[in-house]
Amino acid sequence: MAISPFEDRYRTEMNDIFEEDNRLCKWMQVEISLAKAHARLGTIPKEAVKQIEDGSRKVKPGRVKQIEAEIHHDLMAMVKALSEQSGDAGKYVHLGATSYDIEDTATALIFMDALEALDSRLETLAGVLRELARKHKRTVCIGRTHGQHAVPTTYGMKFAIYYQELLRDGERLKEAEKRIGVGKMSGATGTMATFGANGMEIQAMVMKDLGLEPARASNQVIQRDRHAEVLCCLALTAALLEKMAKEVRNLQRTEILELSEPFGRKQVGSSTMPHKRNPHKSERVCSLARLVRANVLTALENIPLEHERDLTNSANERAIFGESFIAVDYMALEMTKILQGLEIFPENIEKNLDMTHGLVMAERLMIALTDKGMGRQEAHELVRTLAQRAFSENKELKALAAEKKLLSQKELDVIFDPHTYIGCAEKIVEEATRD
């Protein structure tokens, strides 16, 4: 039975990238590239490379675990298992390397695969947001600031804003990819002493073979600012996903109910209240965002390792790297499903637009009065007074404005139509979602 919910409940294709078996494969991939570099320089026989490659296909994870139980060192357990399966070439496995030459370089490979997978997931979500923005560019609704009715906006604007933010998140992850796609082959303190004069050349050859950039300077590890940057970017993406989910949750409130996340025909909302349609999918997204943000703090704590390195980063990184990527991938998948099945209730959107008896058109009334020649401050004070009276007496602002006889009934009819007070919203959406 799984202990972590990321092993089953929140599992996605991302799990395969962070599975222990894949990590073992990546370790051996780095070892093979190191052997290739040695063979090119003539420090080991060329035929040794094929023997090590063949050996890597015979290594069993169970054997690695068995060795680790004896020696208490996971990377060295892999080295011994690979050496066992490589015949005479086993003596050349891991030649000149330290553990984190292999581990950190393999981690870079894993991060690159994970970023590619996440990019695909976010691209799908972006397509859904873009489609919704264009579909609802004329769906007028009440805008809310400070939790209060403000002035009209459109649902297209909401989705276009999310779409643009998601594009920025994608750009940030692409930028971080440049700095995480880095490996090292520099030994115990980064001096490459075990490789002698060939150190720089070996590192360059290994990284070229793996498709990574060589670290220009490192100690026993790749510096953790790189990993922290990626987790910061993941947290930014998680924050956007939470923002979208929170909006769904709030707009699904019984007294608002302008939209709702999809609710299955046999779905149960509550164990005791049969009528409930809880937005539990959106709440789950918000919950996981907290975990992703918390992992950023741990990643930042891993940056100031002591001297040329200590091991305080190692244990927590086994959790925070995979957890963060899987959580964001799952959140993006869930948010995509929520938006694809989003239920929208036009009658409630209209009801909420009219809820305040025209108070939300106060701004437009003020502007209309200034167009008639009234000073801006005078117009603001007049409309503010009328709005306070309309609120306290539960009257239509339009009717109170008509009593002042400053504008014709035809003008007031236009002013108090919320569907015609969305400014450039339609054009903004079109520009924001343009190819």
pLDDT of residue 277: 81
Instruction: In whole angstroms, give the CA distance from residue 407 to residue 385.
Output: 17
In this structure, what token pair is assigned to residue 344?
A: 């929208």
- For tokens 């965002």, name the residue: 289
Q: For residue 142, give the DSSP letter.
A: E
Say how many domains are in the chain: 2
The predicted-structure confidence for 213-242, as pLDDT tens digits, reads as follows 999 999 999 999 999 999 999 999 999 999
The predicted-structure confidence for 161-184, as pLDDT tens digits, reads as follows 999 999 999 999 999 999 999 999
Provide φ and ψ at 174, rounded to 5°. Answer: -65, -40
55: pLDDT strictly greater than 70: yes
Confidence category of residue 435, pLDDT binned at 50, 70, 90? confident
144: pLDDT strictly greater than 80: yes
Catalytic residue at 146?
yes
Is residue 29 one of the residues assigned to a domain? yes
64: pLDDT strictly greater than 80: yes
Catalytic residue at 33?
no
The predicted-structure confidence for 237-290, as pLDDT tens digits, reads as follows 999 999 999 999 999 999 999 999 987 677 766 666 777 788 999 999 999 999
pLDDT of residue 304: 96
Is residue 158 one of the residues assigned to a domain? no
Residue 81: which CATH number?
1.10.275.10
Quick one: which H or E segment has residue 178? helix 155-180
Cβ pair 422, 154 in contact under 8 A:
yes
Instruction: In whole angstroms, give the CA distance from residue 246 to residue 376.
Output: 37
- Residue where a domain terminates, one of 62, 77, 95: 95
Sign of the C-alpha dihedral, residues 60, 90, 68, 8?
A: negative
- Residue where a domain terminates, one of 43, 78, 95: 95
Q: Which of 4, 120, 270, 408 is catalytic?
A: 270
Instruction: In whole angstroms, give the CA distance from residue 355 to residue 321.
Output: 48
Provide φ and ψ at 429, rounded to 5°. Answer: -65, -45
Instruction: In whole angstroms, give the CA distance from residue 122 to residue 237.
Output: 9
The predicted-structure confidence for 156-167, as pLDDT tens digits, reads as follows 999 999 999 999
In this structure, what token pair is assigned to residue 146?
A: 């400070």
Other C-beta atoms closer than 10 Å to the C-beta of 41 total 13
Strand runs labelled E in 311-397: 343-344
305: pLDDT strictly greater than 70: yes
Is residue 69 one of the residues assigned to a domain? yes
At 173 the three-state DSSP class reads helix
Residues near 218 by beta carbon (within 8 Å), at least 6 away in sequence: 184, 186, 190
The predicted-structure confidence for 332-379, as pLDDT tens digits, reads as follows 999 999 999 999 999 999 999 999 999 999 999 999 999 999 999 999
The predicted-structure confidence for 73-93, as pLDDT tens digits, reads as follows 999 999 999 999 999 999 999
Is residue 427 one of the residues assigned to a domain? no
The average pLDDT across 288-307 equals: 97
**Measured CA distances, 177 to 70, 115, 173, 300, 360 (Å):** 37, 7, 6, 18, 46
Full residue range of the structural domain in which residue 35 is found: 1-95
Cβ pair 156, 139 in contact under 8 A:
yes
Kindly report the average pLDDT of the chain as a whole number: 95
Is residue 49 one of the residues assigned to a domain? yes
309: pLDDT strictly greater than 80: yes
Other C-beta atoms closer than 10 Å to the C-beta of 257 total 17
Is residue 51 one of the residues assigned to a domain? yes
Q: For residue 254, give the DSSP letter.
A: T
Provide φ and ψ at 195, rounded to 5°. Answer: -95, -5
Question: Which region, left, alpha or beta, applies to residue 142 given φ > 0 means left and ψ of -120 to 50 means alpha?
Answer: beta
Instruction: In whole angstroms, give the CA distance from residue 86 to residue 51.
Output: 5
pLDDT of residue 206: 98
User: Exposure of 270 by Cβ count < 10 A (0-12 exposed, 13-18 middle, 19+ buried)?
Assistant: exposed
End-to-end alpha-carbon separation of the chain, Å?
Answer: 47
Residues near 415 by beta carbon (within 8 Å), at least 6 away in sequence: 361, 364, 365, 368, 398, 407
- Residue where a domain terminates, one of 45, 75, 95: 95
Question: Which region, left, alpha or beta, applies to residue 192 given φ > 0 means left and ψ of -120 to 50 means alpha?
Answer: left
pLDDT of residue 271: 61
- Predicted TM-score of the model (pTM): 0.94
Residues near 346 by beta carbon (within 8 Å), at least 6 away in sequence: 139
Quick one: which H or E segment has residue 154? strand 148-154
293: pLDDT strictly greater than 80: yes
Is residue 249 one of the residues assigned to a domain? no
Q: For residue 5, give the DSSP letter.
A: G
Strand runs labelled E in 240-298: 259-260
Confidence category of residue 321, pLDDT binned at 50, 70, 90? very high
3-state SS of 76-115 is HHHHHHHHHHCHHHHHHCCCCCCHHHHHHHHHHHHHHHHH
The average pLDDT across 98-126 equals: 98
Q: Which of 72, 146, 275, 307 is catalytic?
A: 146
HSE-CB for 374 with a 13 A CA cutoff? 17
Is residue 225 one of the residues assigned to a domain? no
Instruction: In whole angstroms, give the CA distance from residue 180 to residue 230.
Output: 8
pLDDT over 70, % of the chain? 98
pLDDT of residue 266: 73
